[in-house]
Structure 1
Amino acid sequence: MKTFYFVMLCVISFFVLVFPNGFFGLADDTNRALGSTCKNEENTTVNGVILQTLLNSLASNVVDHHGFYQTIAGENNSRIYGSILCRGDISANNCSDCVRNSTIEASNVFPKCRDVQVLFRWCFLRYSNESFFGDMQELTFTYDFDDIDDPSVVSQGLPFMSGVAATASEKSLMFHTEVLNFNQSEKRYGMAQCTRDISRKDCKRCLDSQLINIRTIRNNTRWEIYGSNCFMWYDDYQFYASVSFLPSAAWRPSSCRSLAAIAVSAALLIVF
């Protein structure tokens, strides 16, 4: 069975290399900075060496831990707690790039801040001098668009996203995508994700709280909600990839690169 998954992973790697522009449906999706927050700013800066150690550790380990990683750097009063989450459908390279951009943003924009949250569309970074691991917070940032949806579609949108939220909270990675087939020409795409340090119950509670907030803009065709522990996306096109390219921490074969290279070479021979 592991051999099968190994071969499939290498096949996926082949398509990522040969079709870098989004063979699996991510072509129209782009990363962008959405905002950042700073709390508990003081007259003195955090220990720059400890902070850089933390950020480097987050960036180095997030892909190996399937897009979510938490760690601690420093001791006693100099201790810093850090967490990084990548969106569940993006590639390992996109995850790494997003993490790098978010860590640069944090260290450059908030050098004095002891509690920072940096939000990009593909990843979410947080660090603090106080532990927040496992504590569900209902902080919400909402992004909606000006286009108004068909009322007959709107009536199904929220129940559909409620189902997406319920399924995401039960998944091992607390991540789920789903398609609402309204008719032959109309589809809506939903995605939900939670940080994996909270319980399944808190994940569902966090997503349900976001759905309550979204009722004020429920007539929109597209909207996105971001929080400290959970996130939701709703759109009229498939903005997410059909598969996740982030490797599993439980099994990550080292020889796939060689097979992927062979596959690319074979493809070039066929093309030329």
Structure 2
Amino acid sequence: MSSSRLASSLYLLTFALLLQNVLGTDPLFSRCSSNANSTVNSSYKTSLNVLMASLYQLAPVEGFALGSLGQSNQDRPYGLVLCRGDVSSSDCRACAANATREIRKRCPNSKGAIIAYDNCLLKVF
């Protein structure tokens, strides 16, 4: 009886851990800059969206991506994604995608923001 109870507990624990990985977790840290804001249709916002998409694509290759995009200094966002060294490229991609979605939700009009998870960090400024 105790071995079947142990097996059931292990299955339940495994399922819970898999579910947590699939659904994502809350960030360890997030902060939106209060120094400067952007408007929804600004060239900065457009550049930021393109930049975050490219960082999301590049980060899993090396575990790190850094970039900037835009014509003038005031419309040029900078950003970086850093994944933990022991994280697989697929987990890095998933974390970067989640961080990109969350930073857009949490800081929709902020020109600077940072969000950190167990597996990755995303910063835009």
Q: Taking structure 2 as the reference length, what is the TM-score of the superposition?
A: 0.72
The AA in structure 2 aligned to 1:80 is: P
- Residue matched to 1:71: 67
**Within 5 Å, which residues of 2 pair with 1:31-180?**
32=25, 33-39=27-33, 40-42=35-37, 44-45=39-40, 47-64=44-61, 66-76=62-72, 77-128=74-125
C-alpha RMSD of matched pairs (Å): 2.2
Match of 1:89, SS?
Answer: coil
| Higher-Rg member (1/2) | 1
Q: How many equivalent residue pairs? A: 101
- Residue matched to 1:202: none
How far residue 57 of structure 1 moved from its aligned partner, in angstroms, is: 0.8
TM-superposition CA deviations, 1:203-255 (whole Å, max 9, x none) = xxxxxxxxxxxxxxxxxxxxxxxxxxxxxxxxxxxxxxxxxxxxxxxxxxxxx
How far residue 43 of structure 1 moved from its aligned partner, in angstroms, is: 6.6
Match of 1:74, SS?
Answer: coil
The AA in structure 2 aligned to 1:37 is: R
Structure 1 stretches lacking a partner, 5+ long: 1-20, 22-26, 129-272
The AA in structure 2 aligned to 1:127 is: V
Match of 1:53, SS?
Answer: helix
Match of 1:114, SS?
Answer: coil
Give the whole-Å Cα distance in 1 for the aligned partners of 2:37 and 2:69. Answer: 19
The higher-RCO structure (CA 8 Å, 6+ apart) is 2
Kindly indicate whether the alpha-carbon contact (under 8 Å) linking 2:114 and 2:124 is maintained by their aligned counterparts in 1.
yes
The AA in structure 1 aligned to 2:39 is: T
Give the whole-Å Cα distance in 2 for the aligned partners of 1:92 and 1:123. Answer: 11
Kindly indicate whether the alpha-carbon contact (under 8 Å) linking 2:66 and 2:79 is maintained by their aligned counterparts in 1.
yes
Match of 1:75, SS?
Answer: coil
